[in-house]
Structure 1
Amino acid sequence: MLGLCFIAILLLPFKPDITSKIFNFAGILSVLIFLSSPKVYLKNKIVIVAIPLFLIGITHLIWVELYKTSDTIYRNVYHGYFQMGKIALFGSFILLITHNALKNILISKLHLITATISQISILGYTVYQEFYLHIPRVELAFHNASNATGAAYAMIFLSLYAQFIFLSYCSRIKYYLYSLSILITFFCVVLTETRAGILLYPVISLCIFFLYFRQNKNLKLKFVLFPIIAALIICAIFSETIIQRMQSASNEIIAYIKNDSTSTSVGDRLSMIQTGFYASNGFLWQSAEERNSKIIELAKNDKRFAGAIEHMQAHLHNDLMEELSTKGWINGVLLILLFYFAIFAYGYKQAKNPFILGFTFVLIGLGLSDTLIISTQVSLSWILVLILMTSCFSSRLKLS
């Protein structure tokens, strides 16, 4: 099962459609394996994460079954929920199976090889798109609604996995590999020009390393400085791009506050957050048609909400507001918050690992500016990383 996950995550930046097929196949196998001995797998500590993920998947699929019609004009909304429903459902079973899988030196080496290849391949593909194809914003193979933004989020999650594996390596070279991963990923994320990623990635990476340092207080100062220097190097090289993107975000916020009707990325997101809240049906479910008709009415009464209309045919760019607007407070918002808490609790109590905690904060942080629990390709990236990282904790085997 882990072998399929290794292959899937390596193909994700280049062939996300093939990754999806491999993941679905792994999911079907995991369901069959689980059914052969459910009591054994339900004893896994990872069950606290698997259960809310399973519930997210089931409720997504039920919602689609209840409300989707053959003549709907909001096919993309239902498609997103259906795809994520499958991913969450299969992911919950894969989590249980891989967490119970046999661990040995070979598996540990495969983790290291996979992490290394993923970082090298992402760097190579980014350089190819930026300097050979001259694509304005690097997007890897995410040629759909996600584009550059989805590529940036996938880069960040894959980097967390690589950093986690590198720091598990029993050699001092691990600190160089870790710092190099920060350097590579920050470089690639900046070239996607995704503001949320540019802001969040260095902060989360350094916070994770600080937590790691607290667990390893005998760490030499030079190794502590390496990741900080790596982040500063990228900030210095791309200072003009970073400043320009941050200034653009500031201007968009000011324009939104001044009630400017011009459509902007930040302004549209703020519109979607508000309309998602106002268009909800409280504790009850509602169809995409009902939700979107309410958003249209809101936009008629307040032109600041017009930006939400442009995006409501896909999603509302915020996990909590998207879930609230379709599935209500309990099956939507509360279930997502329960999933966040489950990952955090597992990372803090069971795994006792800063990378699981960091993963949780990245999932929450990026989920406030986009939908990570609806987008197929981005969802595959974080769920594969979660599976591979948690699979390492059923034994304390370290790489040598």
Structure 2
Amino acid sequence: MSFCWNEINSGIKSLILILCIFSLMTLSLWDDVATKFLHAAGIISALYFLVTPKKTITNNPTLLIFISLCLLGIVNIIWYSHYKISGSVYTNAYRGPMETGKIALCSAFIFLVLFAKNEMRTKIKFGKLILFASLATQLLFFAHAMWQHFYLNVDRVALSASHATTAGYIILFPSLLASILILKSDLRHKTTLYTINFMLSLCAVIVTETRAAILVFPFFALILIIMDSYINKRINYKLYYFITIALLAGVFSFKDTLLMRMNDLNNDLVNYSHDNTRTSVGARLAMYEVGLKTYSPIGQSLEKRAEKIHELEEKEPRLSGALPYVDSHLHNDLIDTLSTRGIPGVVLTILAFSAILIYALRTAKEPYILILLFSLLVVGLSDVILFSKPVPTAVFITIILLCAYFKAQSDQCLLEK
């Protein structure tokens, strides 16, 4: 009976992991399908939990992650249900947090089930499977991005997303995942693989013209090398050399695109210094200000927020750059959450990712997970990441698979003893 249960347990967890891998690999071509795979994995995980609650919860190191993500998802869905009215002009903006809430709930159950104390007894080497799936995903990102940019003559590549900015973030997090997995793997020629992945990912990010992603990816790719050198107490000079060459080659190959975006940034800052916020950067800074000035501690509807923003703009016309965005979001995760779901939403968001941070350091003992968390934090300062479906799917699926990779490697070691 015990043997039968172990087989069923491993089979269900294997299915959940495979669905997560499919979610990662479909991000480039069909981001909506990627979300559906994540939902399916979450539903199976929830059913598994309902059948075996005691076995799943007992000594589970991800219990805090589960609770915080569940609360975050529930608050988002309650907010949507309470404030959304039929025929609202802000329907799409309401759906963003609601979709994120569903993804958070699914991710909560996936964490709870996949990272329970009992190891997976399976012949499938999921560590290697996650690694190769990640590398294949990077090839898909690069091929799709280059096809759109050069063959279809698309200036700002959007992949399968509705906006190029979204595509930039969809590429960013799996690219960092692949970088971490390459360094942690036992593959030969890791230096060459890391350099190739860096080059392909950088080119794919550049053609989306997403400034935050263009800056964040090479920065954290370099931080990752420094971290790896420190942990292993060995400096790979060849990797530093190759990455420098790859960075210069990528910048040179798309120098016109990069120069145009840098000139736009400079012009935006000059306009902002003259109280003109009707630019990309100026509008963001105006949105941050109006978000902090119009928030409600316990949350509010988008209609109420828009009303407050219009009233504020009449008193302070320099904030007019924020007006075109009142029907979407305020381009900063915490400020946008504060202006809609109030202080509870902000607290639960911080708690959820703090729980993942604690798991990374105390249980998994893998500081590499911090690369994903800190990149999420940095990008979240200039845009809304936890909104709608594609980017939250990319964020949670990369974190889940990175944690799953480390657990799979640990379980494999236990089985081989």
TM-score by structure 2 length?
Answer: 0.89
Q: How many angstroms apart in 1 are the aligned matches of 2:411 and 2:355? A: 25
Q: 1:123 to 1:189 in 2, by over 3 A?
A: same
Q: How many angstroms apart in 1 are the aligned matches of 2:90 and 2:128? A: 45
- Counterpart pick for 2:301 among 283, 287, 291: 287
1:19 aligns with 2:34: yes
Q: How many angstroms apart in 2 are the aligned matches of 1:24 and 1:245? A: 36
Q: 1:129 corresponds to which residue? A: 148
Q: How many angstroms apart in 1 are the aligned matches of 2:255 and 2:87? A: 49
**Contact 2:60–2:115 (Cα < 8 Å) also in 1:** yes
1:357 aligns with 2:376: no
Q: 1:325 corresponds to which residue? A: 339
Deviations 1:227-269 (A, max 9, x none): 33322322233334323312321221221221125x2111111
- The farther-off stretch of 171-180 and 114-123 is 171-180
Q: 1:256 corresponds to which residue? A: 272
Q: 1:393 corresponds to which residue? A: 406
Q: Secondary structure at the match of 1:192?
A: coil
- Counterpart pick for 1:206 among 222, 228, 238: 222
Q: How many angstroms apart in 1 are the aligned matches of 2:87 and 2:160? A: 30
Q: 1:254 to 1:332 in 2, by over 3 A?
A: farther
Q: 2:134 corresponds to which residue? A: 115
1:81 aligns with 2:100: no
Q: How many angstroms apart in 2 are the aligned matches of 1:276 and 1:102? A: 50
Which residues in structure 2 correspond to 1:1-400 (within 5 Å)? 1-42=16-57, 43-100=59-116, 101-102=120-121, 106-143=125-162, 147-260=163-276, 263-281=278-296, 283-329=297-343, 331-397=344-410
Q: State the AA in 2 paired with 1:294.
A: K
* Deviation of 1:168 (Å): 2.6
**Contact 1:10–1:118 (Cα < 8 Å) also in 2:** yes
Q: How many angstroms apart in 1 are the aligned matches of 2:122 and 2:322? A: 48
**Contact 2:284–2:331 (Cα < 8 Å) also in 1:** yes
Q: How many angstroms apart in 1 are the aligned matches of 2:60 and 2:109? A: 11
Q: How many angstroms apart in 2 are the aligned matches of 1:141 and 1:311? A: 23
**Contact 2:95–2:388 (Cα < 8 Å) also in 1:** no
Q: How many angstroms apart in 2 are the aligned matches of 1:397 and 1:176? A: 26
- The farther-off stretch of 148-157 and 293-302 is 293-302
Q: State the AA in 2 paired with 1:128.
A: W
- The farther-off stretch of 57-66 and 14-23 is 14-23
Q: State the AA in 2 paired with 1:318.
A: N
Q: How many angstroms apart in 2 are the aligned matches of 1:333 and 1:251? A: 33
Which consecutive unaligned segments of at least 5 residues does structure 2 have? Answer: 1-15
CA RMSD of aligned residues (A): 2.0
Q: Secondary structure at the match of 1:374?
A: coil
Q: Secondary structure at the match of 1:392?
A: helix
Which consecutive unaligned segments of at least 5 residues does structure 1 have? Answer: none
Give the % identical residues.
35
* Deviation of 1:219 (Å): 4.5
Q: State the AA in 1 paired with 2:370.
A: L
Q: How many angstroms apart in 2 are the aligned matches of 1:45 and 1:228? A: 39
Q: How many angstroms apart in 1 are the aligned matches of 2:149 and 2:88? A: 38
TM-score by structure 1 length?
Answer: 0.93
Q: Secondary structure at the match of 2:368?
A: helix
